[in-house]
Amino acid sequence: MALGWAIIGAGMHPQQKLAPAIGLTPDAELIAVLSRDQGRADAFAETHGAKVGYSNIDDLLADSRIDAVFVSSPNASHVAHTVQAAKAGKHLLSEKPMATSVEDAVTMVRACKDNGVKLGLGFELRFHPAHILARDLVAQGSLGRVRLLQGHWGRGERGEPEHLPRSGLRGWWEDPEAMAGGSVIMGLGVHVFDLVRFVMQKEITEVTAMTDGQTDAQPLEHIATMALRLDDGTIANISCGRMLPDTLNNFTVYGTDGRFTGTATVWEARMGAAEVVSETVNQTDSWEYDYLANFVAELSDFHAALKEDREPAATGIDGLRSTEINSAVIESAKTGRVVKIEHRAVS
């Protein structure tokens, strides 16, 4: 039986990725979409073959055809939408960043736990075969002792030497309060932080950050570079930014016996190449450009988690840990200090 999906949010991400990916996912059906405007909801539903568009969340959650909800509303709204959907018995897949505060992330995890529903996070980089390979190489010890990781995600357009503010329905991206004090950290860096945790299967314990923002003159950053320390002492260097049109979105793991490099793999599409050079494994792989493959894999994993009664590949706790990292990075950028991360438990 097909899994009935609803999407909360009718913006660019659902339009370009989520709804098309649901359409390509086996045993998945897009039942409904929620928008604040009924006209936008109806237009979205018609475009993507959904059964119905809603402008009232209570009406959507009362629809018995819906089994799972993908929360892709503005970041600060994730917590309220997740809690409401969990209380209605719907399983949840949340877009990143999971929340704009650690407390909100804890609330989301607890709500899903208390109501017996699954909570997953939209970290599609976990589903790129190159990054799965990197995780396996580390776990098998094929690279020796990992000493350093480097990751970067940038984007931009030539001819834009200054940030062009988003407006209209996307204007909330320019609101420091709605963004909890972080911009590209929340939009791009969050993915690379999670990728480090995924590949290493370790927690990040302290961070230091330097950005071009987090000041009175420029509250939100457009360029950020971060140093992270993992709980085994490994160091990771992460950078992200916009206004970088010729960016190299690469990910490298350096070990004492070898190296893994993902070239152009840090991107929403499945693409790029991987090279492994080590004492025991030497190989290269490449992937043809597939814009939706990582998202389809993400949705398929979530469906399998429901059928097998297991946790999805990226869990609510992974989302909580990523929120802790985001908050620490923003604090470090504001204060110029190293910030140690306290990991919250959810009972």
User: What's the pLDDT at 139?
Assistant: 98
The answer to the question of residue 345 being in a domain is: no
Pair (135, 118) in one structural domain: no
Is the pLDDT assigned to residue 271 strictly greater than 90? Answer: yes
**pLDDT at 101 exceeding the cut of 90:** yes
Q: What is the pLDDT of residue 1?
A: 80
Domain housing 205? 125-340
Stretch 102-117: mean pLDDT: 98
Residue 28 maps to a domain: yes
Name the pTM for this structure. Answer: 0.97
Query: Within a domain: residue 347?
Result: no
CATH classification of the domain holding 269: 3.30.360.10
Cis peptide before 245 (omega within 30 of 0): no
The answer to whether residues 186 and 249 belong to one domain is yes
Residue range 290-344, pLDDT digits in tens = 999 999 999 999 999 999 999 999 999 999 999 999 999 999 999 999 999 999 9
- Last residue of one domain, picked from the residues 122, 155, 176: 122
Percent of the chain with pLDDT over 90: 95
Q: Does residue 97 share a domain with residue 136?
A: no
167 and 70 in one domain? Answer: no
* Judgement on whether residues 170 and 105 belong to the same structural domain of the protein: no
Rounded to an integer, the average pLDDT of 83-108 is 98
* pLDDT tens-digit map of 3-23: 999 999 999 999 999 999 999
Q: Tell me, what's the pLDDT at 161?
A: 87
Is 63 in the same domain as 209? Answer: no
What are 36-80's pLDDT values in tens digits? 999 999 999 999 999 999 999 999 999 999 999 999 999 999 999
Q: Give the whole-angstrom CA distance, residue 310 versus residue 312.
A: 7
CATH code, domain with 74 = 3.40.50.720
Q: Is residue 19 part of a domain?
A: yes
Residue 267, in any domain of the structure: yes
Q: In terms of domains, do 81 and 106 share one? A: yes
Quickly state the pLDDT bin for 162 (edges 50, 70, 90): confident
What is the number of domains present in the chain? Answer: 2
First to last CA, the chain: 33
Same domain, 164 and 274: yes
Residue 169 pLDDT exceeds 90:
no
What does the pLDDT look like over 203-260, one tens digit per residue? 999 999 999 999 999 999 999 999 999 999 999 999 999 999 999 999 999 999 999 9
Does position 134 have pLDDT exceeding 90, yes or no? yes
Q: What is the pLDDT of residue 347?
A: 84
Do 170 and 312 lie in a common domain? yes
Q: Which band of pLDDT confidence, cut at 50, 70 and 90, is reported for residue 144?
A: very high
In this structure, the answer to whether residues 29 and 159 fall within a common structural domain is no
Q: Write down the mean pLDDT value for the chain.
A: 97
Q: 90 pLDDT band (50/70/90 cuts)?
A: very high
Residue 114: is its pLDDT beyond 90? yes
Give yes or no: residues 115 and 222 share one domain: no
Query: Which domain-ending residue is among 82, 102, 122?
Result: 122
* Boundary of a domain, candidates 87, 122, 157: 122
Residue 110 pLDDT more than 90? yes
Statement to judge: residues 170 and 236 lie in one domain: yes
Residue 346 lies in a domain: no
